[in-house]
Structure 1
Amino acid sequence: MQKLFYYSFFLLLCFSANATEEHILNNLSQHKQWLKLLTAYSGNSPKVTDKNFLLSPEGEYSSLNELRLTINAFAEPAGLDLNQHGQCKYPARYLFLKEKLDFVKLGIKKVSCPNYEEYTNVNDQEQLSLVFATGFLGNPASYYGHLLLKINQKNKTGLEQASINFGADIPANEGMLSYIVKGIIGGYDSSFTTQPFFYHFNNYNETEHRDLWEYPIVLSKSQSELVIAHLWELMNVDFQYFFFNRNCAYFMARAIELVLDQDILDDVKPWVGPQEVIQKLNLSTSDGKRVLGEAVYHPSRQTRLYQRFSGLNSTEKSIVRSIALSPENLSLQSISDVQLESKYRIVDTLIDYYQFTRDKKDPEDKNNLYYKKAVLIRYQLAPSASTTNFASSNIPALGRGISRSYIGVDDLGIIVGIRPAYYDALDASYGHVKHAELTMGAAELIIDSGKVNLYSLSLLNIESVKQNYTMLPGDKNHSWFLKVGAEQERLNCSDCLTPIIHTGAGLSKSFFGSDLAISGFLTTGFFSDSLISDGLFAGAKIKASWFISSNISTALTINHRHHIGNATQTAIKLEQRTSISESMDLRLSWEHSIETELSKLSMNFGYYW
C-alpha cells in the first residue's frame, strides 16, 4: 500500500512538471517578442514568404510548434559547418529563449558561430544607426525617401561599416509602368541585404544628390544585440513587397520595434512612409529612454555646392562663374588677386562643382580633368580646414505628419478631402524637396444641394523642380510633371468629373535664395470622359511658388490647353497656405477660366496626421 502511494505521488509530480512546462511554452509562444521574431506582427500570420525561414512544415505552422522546433534545433549537436547550426541561423531566437528557459536543463550547449560573430563585432555604444535618405523624384521607389540601417562595427571606418537595406528584387531592365503596377499590387519579392555603407552613401549622396540623416539608435547593449541578431536571421529571406505599406519603412520599423516600449505601426493603415517612421521613432522610448540620438547630417554633393556657393561674396561668385565658363583658365594665377581665405572658398567651391557635374564613368569627360586640377591647386595652398560648416534646418524627424485631411467650402458646396501622402508646392516641409509636389490617392467629396459627389481624384501627382541655383554650366534646371486623376470639366459643375492625364517638361529658376521658384513647361495630355481624339491636347504651363515666410506660402499657376478639336482652355489658379500650427493649416484658392469667364473661390482647414 505504501509503495502504491509513493508511485502515485511520483506520477503526480511528473504530470505536474509536464503540465507546468507545457504552460510555460504556451505562454512563451504568445509572447509579443517571440511573435515579432517570427514576423507575426500584431499576432497575425508571419509576413515572411520564404519557406526556409520557418522550421514548421508547410501547413503546420503555429507559434507554439515553431517554438518547440526551435528548441529542438538548438539542442542538436554541432556538425562540420557550424554556421548552419540552428543557433547560428536563428541567433535572435537564441538570445530571446536563453532569457526565458533553462538551457542547461534542456541540454542546449552554446555553439560557436564564426560568420555571425564576425558580423556582430560592434561598438559598445550606439551599435546601430538609422539612416534616412531624402526623396528622389527620378525613381518611383525613392519618391518618399528611404531608410537603411548601419551597423557600427569595430575596427572599421564609417563608410566601411556594414549597412542593412530592404528593397524589392526587381529584374534588370524592368519597364517603368510594369515596375509601378507590380510594386503596388505586390508583384515582387523583397528582402534584407547587406553591403558596405559606402555603396549606399555614394549612390544616394553623390549620384542621386540626396541628403542623408544618420540617427544613432540609443539602446542597451543587449537590446542592440537582439535587433542585430534578428536582422541577421532575416538576411536574404523573401517577403512580399507592396509599395505603399510593406516597404523599407515598414520592415525597418518592425525590426526596431522588437525592443521598443510600444509599437509605432499597425497593420491596418494602408500606407507607411520612411519619414513617418523617423518621426514616430523620434517620440518613442525603450526602457523609458528616447530611442533616437542626435542626427549626423551628410549633405549631398549638390547641397555642398549650393551651400558653398551661397557663402561666396559677389567677387568670389564672379570668379567661380568665369572659371566654370572657361575652365582652361583654372590656375593659381586666375585667383591671385584675392585674399588667401577667398582662395580657399573659391577652390573648395570649384572642387564640389566639378564633383557635381563630372561623369566619373566617362574618361573623356573633361570635368574629371578639371576636378583633379582644382584638387591640385587646393594642395598648393597653405593647409586649412574646410571653409564651410554644412548645416540644414530641413530635419526629417521634425515637422508635420505625412497625411492631410481637410474640410472647407467653395461656391458650389461643402468639401471634404483627404491626401494620404505626401506634400505639395505649398507645404513642402522637413525632409521634402522644396517647390516640388508628390501626392498619391488624394480625393475630394462635395456636398452640393444635399447630394454627395466625388469632386476630384488625384491618383498620382508629381512635379519635379530643379532650380539651377548657381546658374553655372551643368547645374541643370530641367523640370517635369505628371498628373493622373479626374477633375471637374467646368468650374461651375460638381457632377461632371472627367478623367485627365497631364504631363509636361520644361525649365525652372529660383530667386531670393531658393524661396521663389518659377517654372515653365510644354505640356500634353488627355482630358475627356470618352475615348475620342478631341480629348487630346497640347499646351503650356507656367507656375510660380513662393515661400513668403516660414508660415505663409503662395502659388500661381497658368495652364493653357489646345485640344485637337480646336477647343481651348486657359485656367488661372492662385493659392495661399497659412500654417496655423505644426499640424493645422488654412488654405485659400481662387480659380478663373479665361474662355468661360467663370471664377470660383474656396477655403479649407486642414489637419496633418
Structure 2
Amino acid sequence: MFKFLMNVHHVISVSPLQCEILLMSIHSVSNRIAIDGTPIQLSCRARLPLAIAGLLLTVQAQAFLPTPASLVTTGELALNTDTNTNTNKAKAETDANQLLNLWREQSTTKNLAQDTTWRRLLYFSDEKKGLFGKNKNISAVDDARFFLSSNGREDSGAELDAMLVAFADEMANKTNNSETNNTAQASNSNSALCRFPARAKWLSDTLAIDKSAMQVTCPELTAWMQKLAPEQLSIMFAQEYLDNPLSAFAHTLLRIDSKASVADLSQIHHAYALNDTVDGDTKDNFVLYAIKSMTGGYNNLIEIDPYPEKLAKYLQDDERDAWTYQLDLTPEEVQQIILHVWETKELKLPYYFTSDNCASEILRLIDVVRPEQHLLSQLPYAVIPSDVVQLLNKEGFLASTNYTPADSTLRQAQLNKVKQESKQLGYHNNPKQMLNEIKSAQLNKVSSMSADGQTLLPHQIAVSDTNPLNRHSLQMGSIGIGQRGDNNYIDLGARAGYHDTLDHPSGFPQFFDLEGASATVRLYDTDIDKANQPKSVVLQNLTLIKGRSFNPVNSAKKGKTWGASIEATRVNDGSQQDGTDHLVGSLGYESGWSWAFGTPSAGTGEMPPQLCYTFLAGTAQTGRGINKGFRVGAGVNAGCRYQINNQLRAQAELQLPYWYHGSSDDSNVRGHYWQPISSLGLQYDIDKKQALRINANYEWQDRIDANDDVQLSYRRYF
C-alpha cells in the first residue's frame, strides 16, 4: 500500500490551500496514528503521503479522502489551469472559506479572543487599578490604523476574526498565483501579515497553520529586521541625573544585540538602542513642558538609534554611570518582541512621566512574550526605572550585569589616585594646574568608549557602589515620637519616593537628594489649659517635590550645585509676639557651591564621602495664618553631611533667611526680620529596609511660641 501511495504522490497536484484543509481535516486522526505513543506531526511540505496513509488506515476518514481516480482527474485538471482560471479562483475562495471556518471553530474552542497574549498584543490592560487605572475592556490605542476591524479597539474577538479573514485572503491569493504559474510572490507592505507580523506569528503558531501556505513578501519589514538583526536584549540603566529634571528618576532603554555584539559585548557598533521617550515640544517653557509630560499632554516617541550614539549621551554629556543587564529571553522571544515593536513603533500614545514611560514599556514588551508573567501590574501607579530593574531581578529575568563608568567617573578615579599618591609621598598640596587638567573634559579625554565611539574599552577602576539592585526600596513609611516646645506628639509619615542624603547611599549616585509625594500628619498631646496650643491633629508637611543637586567644585563633576522645592509645610511666623505655626504653600530655589572631602573608596571613581555646601536661597510662602497672608525670604543655607560609617550618617545645617511680610500699622507686628534655624539629623541603618533617625531643630527667634523640636522616628522602606 505504501508503495502505491508513493506512486500516487507523483501524479497528484494539490494546492497549498487544499493541502492545509486536508491536514486540518485529519488532525484528530493524526493524533491517533502514533509511534510509541507519540502523535505524528504532519507537514504539507514533507509528509503528505504519510498523511494520506493515515486517512486510508482510519475508517472514519474515508469520507474525506478522494479515490485514486479522482486524484488523477484533479491532476489532469491542474495541467489545464490556463483555460480554467475562473474555476480555480472560485475553488481557491471556497477552500479559503473552509479553512476560515476551521480556524474560527478552533479559536472559539480555545477562546483565543480573551487569551492574555492576544489582548496584550492589542494593548488591552490585564487589570484595572482602582479609579485611575486603565479600562481593561478598551485598548489604550485610539489609532484606527492599529486595527483591522472597526470594532477592534473595544472587541478583541472582532479583531481576531478580522486577522483570520486576512489569513484566508493571503492563502487564496497565494493559491491563485501558484495555479496560474505565477511564481512571483506577492509583495505588499500594506498586507495584514506585513503590518502585524507579531500577531500573525502568534496566531499561526497557536492554530498550527502551515506558514508556507500564506507567505507574503514584506520588503520594508525584512530590511528593518535585517538591519537590527536581533539576537539578544538587555536593559541599559542610566543613573539619576538631577541637572535635567526629566531624567531625575533615571532612564532605561533596551539594547538590541546582533550576533556580532553578542559574541563580543564591547562591539557596540553592532547594537541598537530601543528608547521610549516623550515627544515634547521644545518651544514650551520648562514648567509647561514638565506639566504636559506628567499629565499626558505629549505623545510618546519610539526611537531606534545606533547604540553608541545613545550611550555617549549618557556617559559623556550627562556624566551618568550606566548599568547593563542581559535579559534571560529565548531567541524566539526576542524576535517576537521586535516584531511587535514594528507593529507599534509609529503609534502616538499619551506619555505619562510616572506611569507610561521608558520603564513601563519594557515591562509591557516582556509581558507580551511571557503570558504567565504580570510584570507591569505588579508595580504601583508610578513606574520608576530602578523599580523595574529590581522587579526583573526578583523575577529571575536578569542573566548578567555589566558596569560602564561615565567619563567624569574615570577622571575622578585619576584625581583620587593623584591625591592619594601625593599624600603617601608626604605632599599635602598638588599643583592646581595639574588637578584642573585632570578634571577638564576638554583636556582629559579619558572615556569608556573608543575615540571613534564605536567600541567599549575595558575600564581599569573598581565598580562604584551605584548598582540600583543594591538600593533600598523607594517607598517609605515612618512613625516618630517627639516634643515641640512643651507639647509631645506622634508623627505618621509616608513617602512615595525617593531618597535623601541621610538614607542608605548604596545604589544611588553620590549625595543624591530627591523626595517626592511625601506627607506627614502630627498628633499632639495638647494641654487645653495653656494658651496658643496647637490642634490635636495637623498636617505637618505635604511635599510635591524637593531636592538638591550636588556637584562639588573640587571633583571631576562639571554640573552646578542647586536645589528646589514645592511643598506645603508648617512654619513659625516670627512677625508677631508668641506667634504659632501655620500651614503655608512654599516655593523655594537655591544655588550655590559644594565641596567633597575625606578619603574615597580605593580604586573607584567615587568622590570623597564627606560633603559641605553653601546656598544662596530664595523662598516665597503664602497662607491664611501668617501676617498679611504671605512672606518672601532670601538668605544663606550652609551645612555639612558626614558619613560616619556604612550604617551611620549625620548632617548639620544652618539657615539664615530674612523674611519680608510688608509694612504694618501695628507697632507690635514686624514687617521684616531675621529668623535663623539650626538643624541636626542622624540616621542609623538597622538593615536595608529599616532605620532609626533623630531630627532636632532650633529657631533663633524670640517672638515665637515654641523654638525647639526634637524627634526620634522609625523608618521602614518597602
**Alignment TM class, shorter chain as reference:** 0.7 to 0.9
The alpha carbon displacement at 1:110 in A equals: 2.5
* One-letter code aligned to 1:292: L
Provide the rounded CA distance (Å) in 1 between the counterparts of 2:466 and 2:106.
54
Q: Secondary structure at the match of 2:697?
A: strand
The question of 1:497 aligning with 2:583 is answered yes
Residue 711 of structure 2 corresponds to 602
1:212 & 1:47 partners in 2: Cα distance? 32
Relative distance call for 1:443 and 1:57 in structure 2 (3 A) is same
- For 2:563, the aligned partner's letter is F
Which of the numbers 211, 214, 236 marks the counterpart of 1:131? 236
- Alignment check: 8 A CA contact 1:127 1:152 kept: yes
Which among 234, 238, 257 is matched to residue 344 of structure 2?
234
Cα offsets for 1:434-466 (capped at 9, x unmatched): 223111111111222494321111111020011
Provide the residue aligned with 1:507 in structure 2.
593
Correspondence for 1:574 among 680, 692, 695: 680
Aligned residue in 1 for 2:37:
none
The CA distance in 1 between the partners of 2:458 and 2:385, in whole Å, is: 32
What is the 5 A alignment of 1:335-354? 350=438, 353-354=439-440
State yes or no: 1:144 paired with 2:253. no
1:459 aligns with 2:544: yes
2:514 to 424, 438, 446: 438
Q: Decide which of 654, 660, 681 is 1:558's aligned counterpart.
A: 654
Q: Deviations over 1:323-378 (max 9, x none)?
A: 455x7xxxxxxxxxxxxxxxxxxxxxx4xx44x2x3xxxxxxxx5xx869xxxxx9
Q: Once the two structures are superposed, what CA deviation does each residue of 1:19-54 show, in whole Å capped at 9, x if it has no partner? A: 8435236x1111111111112121513223433223
- In structure 2, what is the equivalent of residue 314 of structure 1? 421
Question: CA separation in 2, counterparts of 1:128 and 1:18?
Answer: 33
Please give the residue correspondences for 1:270-285 in structure 2 after superposition, counting only pairs within 5 Å: 270-284=381-395
Cα separation, partners in 2 of 1:151 and 1:23, compared to 1, 3 Å: same
SS of structure 1 residue aligned to 2:144 = coil
Indicate if the aligned counterparts of 1:48 and 1:240 stay in contact, CA closer than 8 A: no
CA distance in 2, matches of 1:493, 1:581: 41
1:346 match: none
Segment of structure 1 superposing worse, 129-138 or 67-76: 67-76
1:96 and 2:196 correspond? no
Residue-by-residue CA offset, 1:251-274 (whole Å, 9 max, x unaligned):
111112233443223288221100
Structure 1 residue 398, shift from structure 2 partner: 2.4
Q: Is the 8 A contact 2:230 2:334 kept in 1?
A: no
Would you say 1:32 and 2:138 are equivalent positions? no
Describe the shift of the 1:451–1:494 C-alpha distance in structure 2 as closer, same or farther (beyond 3 A).
farther
Which piece of structure 1 moves more, 120-129 or 137-146? Answer: 120-129
- Partner of 1:549: helix, strand, or coil? coil
- Alpha carbons of 1:75 and 1:439: their partners in 2 closer, same or farther (altered >3 Å)? farther
Q: 1:65 aligns with which of 155, 158, 163?
A: 158
* Distance in 1 (alpha carbons) for counterparts of 2:228 and 2:379: 37
How far residue 114 of structure 1 moved from its aligned partner, in angstroms, is 3.6
Structure 1 stretches of 4+ with a deviation exceeding 6 A read: 16-19, 122-126, 316-320, 491-495
Unaligned runs of 5+ in 2: 1-62, 65-97, 128-135, 174-184, 262-266, 452-456, 526-534, 601-607, 661-670
Q: Which residue of 2 aligns with 1:478?
A: 560
Between 397-406 and 80-89, report the one with greater CA deviation. 80-89
Q: Quick one: which of 163, 183, 206 aligns to 2:273?
A: 163
Q: Distance in 2 between matches of 1:319 and 1:556?
A: 30
Count of paired positions: 542
Distance between the aligned counterparts of 1:22 and 1:386, measured in 2?
Answer: 53
- Give the deviation of 1:124 after TM superposition: 9.9
Structure-2 change in CA distance of 1:122 and 1:215 (3 Å): farther
Counterpart secondary structure, 2:200: helix
Q: Say whether residues 1:401 and 2:470 are aligned partners.
A: no
- TM-fit CA distance, 1:548: 1.8
- CA distance in 1: counterparts of 2:229 and 2:275, whole angstroms: 22
Q: Structure 2 length normalisation: TM-score?
A: 0.69
Q: 2:140 aligns with which of 47, 65, 89?
A: 47
Change (3 A) 1:608 1:259: farther
Percent of matched pairs sharing the same residue: 22
Residue equivalent to 1:413: 489
State how far apart, in whole Å, the 1-side matches of 2:144 and 2:642 are: 53
Cα 1:551–1:120 shift into 2, 3 Å: farther
What's the CA shift for 1:208? 0.5
Determine the C-alpha separation between the residues in 2 that align with 1:40 and 1:387: 44
Structure 2: which amino acid aligns with 1:501?
Answer: L
2:295 alignment counterpart: 185
- The question of whether the paired residues in 2 share the 8 Å contact of 1:446 and 1:494 is answered with no
**Contact 2:142/2:153, CA 8 A, preserved across alignment:** no
Q: Which stretch of structure 1 is more off in the superposition, 386-395 or 220-229? A: 386-395
Which amino acid is the alignment partner of residue 425 of structure 1?
Answer: T
Moved more, 516-525 or 543-552: 543-552
Shift of 1:404: 0.8
Q: Is the 8 A contact 1:484 1:500 kept in 2?
A: yes
Q: Is the partner of 1:52 in helix, strand or coil?
A: helix
Would the aligned equivalents of 2:615 and 2:637 in 1 still touch at CA under 8 Å? yes
Task: Encode CA deviations 1:188-208: one digit per residue, 9 max, x unaligned.
Answer: 111322111122111111101
Whether the 8 Å CA contact 1:129–1:217 is kept in 2: the answer is: yes
Q: Paired residue for 1:542, among 621, 626, 638?
A: 638
Residue 23 (structure 2) aligns with:
none
Cα distance between partner residues in 2 of 1:557 and 1:547:
15
Q: 1:294 to 1:529 in 2, by over 3 A?
A: same
Return closer, same or farther for 1:264/1:550 CA change in 2, 3 Å cut-off.
farther
For 2:711 and 2:475, the matched residues in 1 are separated by: 21
- Distance in 1 of aligned mates of 2:379 and 2:392: 19
Moved more, 395-404 or 595-604: 595-604
Q: Structure 1 stretch 243-252 or stretch 54-63: which is displaced more?
A: 54-63
Structure showing greater radius of gyration is 2
- Does the aligned pair in 2 maintain the 1:49–1:240 contact within 8 Å? no
- Give the secondary-structure state (helix, strand or coil) at the position aligned to 2:679: strand
Note the C-alpha offset of 1:469. Answer: 4.2
Residue 523 of structure 2: aligned partner: 447
Describe the superposition over 1:110-132 as per-residue Cα deviations: whole angstroms up to 9, x where unpaired: 33434434444599996111100
Amino acid at match of 2:122: L
**AA aligned opposite 1:197:** Y
Residue type at the aligned position of 2:114: Q
C-alpha distance in 2, partners of 1:303/1:559?
Answer: 32
What is the identity, as a one-letter code, of the residue corresponding to 1:480? W
Instruction: Summarize the Cα distance change of 1:130–1:593 in structure 2 as closer, same or farther, 3 Å threshold.
Output: same
CA RMSD of aligned residues (A): 3.4
Query: 2:554–2:596: 8 Å Cα contact kept in structure 1?
Result: yes
Q: Secondary structure at the match of 1:311?
A: helix
Q: Could you list the per-position Cα deviations for residues 489-533 of structure 1 after superposition, in whole angstroms to 9, with x for gaps in the alignment? A: 239999721221121100000011321111100111112315958
Q: CA deviation at 1:468?
A: 3.0
The residue number in structure 1 matching 2:358 is: 248
